[in-house]
Amino acid sequence: MQPGRHPDRSSTHRSRAVLAAGTLAALLVLSGCGAGDSADSKGAAGDNAEYAAPRAERGAAGAADQGSAKSGSAAKKKPSALSTPQIIRKASLSVEVKSVPKAVAAARAAVESAGGLVSSESTERLDATHEASHIVLRVPQGEYDAVLQELAGGGKLLSRTTTAKDVTDQVVDVESRIATQRASVTRVRKLMDQADKLADVVTLEGELSNRQAELESLLAQQESLKDRTTLATITLSLSEPESASNSEDDDPGFLDALGGGWHAFVTTVRWIAMAVGAAAPFLAAAAGLLLLGRLLRTWLARRRTTREPQASQPDEQAPAAPEAPTAP
């Protein structure tokens, strides 16, 4: 049996030698190709000496991106690390209340006591006695149901709409992309530290600017998701009921008739006063003319009376005729 083992060992040694020789040949071929590529790149650098280095840096950055994409995909495949589901809740309420200002104050107090805030508020006056208000409230998720119930019970509920959207997967995806983008930015910065040529630095600065912009966009998305999942949104519409006196279906009563008659009387007196006021100038002119005519007639009558005695006075003073002589 001992002589039979020597052929097996020799064949094993031969196979190992062949494998080593093949590996060495492959390495030589690869090194030759690399030398040929470097020679070609050096020849091309005669026309543009600063082109090869940025291309190499871009290749390294691309490899970094591929590694980041792989790590990002691997992170996406991992189960969610969030202990609670991330849900965006919204509600819309329409409530009829006796007094809109009091209801607005009560809603504000309820939200602030729950740790929320008033996002926006708008109030308009419909007529002399009625108001309407539109309020957007933000409340913590834990106090959402209690605040919603309190607001709905503040008056007569006209309508109510609620929605809930689960965005847990979206939150996890954004967090994973942020981690990947941060790692990519770090790698590009390391390449900038290793770059020696100005063209390489300029190229890598452009890459870094683009990746930082994308990172900031992802951070903004994360902040928006955090705000909407932390605070629920309640849109509250408040209105007042119409009073019975303003209803069109009510029949007129004694007070309505008395008010209408008084209004007609006041209107008539006002119109008469206006007519008298408008005719006053003409009446004054007519009275002046009448007075002037009367004074003129009086003056003429007095003058005529004065002339008549003067005309009759010579006849009264004429000498009497001599008397006839009487006989002796």
Residue 95: closest CA among 155, 137, 161, 162: 155
Other CB atoms within 10 Å distance of the CB of residue 287 = 10
Other CB atoms within 10 Å distance of the CB of residue 205 = 13
Q: Locate the domains of the chain by residue range.
A: 89-239
What three-state secondary structure class fits 160? strand
Distance of CA 176 to the CA centre of its chain: 32
Tokens of 214: 């994308």
Tokens of 303: 């003058």
The whole-number average pLDDT for the span 297-301 is: 85
Tokens of 99: 């007094």
The whole-number average pLDDT for the span 16-38 is: 45
Other CB atoms within 10 Å distance of the CB of residue 88 = 19
For 139-188, how does the pLDDT look when each residue is reduced to its tens digit (9 = 90+)? 999 999 999 999 998 889 999 999 999 999 999 999 999 999 999 999 98
- pLDDT tier at 28, thresholds 50, 70, 90: very low
Q: Are 232 and 139 in contact (CB under 8 A)?
A: yes
Q: Residue 129: CB partners within 8 Å, gap ≥ 6?
A: 240, 243
What three-state secondary structure class fits 263? helix
> Model-level pTM greater than 0.85?
no
For 218-267, how does the pLDDT look when each residue is reduced to its tens digit (9 = 90+)? 999 999 999 999 999 999 999 988 764 454 545 566 777 778 888 888 89
Q: Tell me the torsion sign for CA atoms 221, 222, 226, 227.
A: negative
d(CA 289, CA 86): 99
Residue reference for tokens 């002399």:
128
d(CA 95, CA 20): 86
Q: What is the pLDDT of residue 250?
A: 53
For 66-106, how does the pLDDT look when each residue is reduced to its tens digit (9 = 90+)? 544 444 444 444 444 556 889 999 999 999 999 999 999 99
Count the residues in the chain.
328
Q: What is the pLDDT of residue 314?
A: 54
The CA radius of gyration of the chain, in Å to the nearest whole number, is: 57
For 127-140, how does the pLDDT look when each residue is reduced to its tens digit (9 = 90+)? 877 889 999 999 99
Quick one: DSSP state of residue 322? Answer: P
Report the Cα–Cα distance between both ends of the chain, in Å, rounded. 245
Residue 96: closest CA among 160, 38, 147, 173: 160
Q: What is the pLDDT of residue 293?
A: 87
d(CA 233, CA 93): 11
For 285-297, how does the pLDDT look when each residue is reduced to its tens digit (9 = 90+)? 888 888 888 888 8
Q: Are 171 and 218 in contact (CB under 8 A)?
A: no
What residue type is 226 in one-letter code? K
Q: Residue 168: CB partners within 8 Å, gap ≥ 6?
A: 80, 82, 85, 86, 87
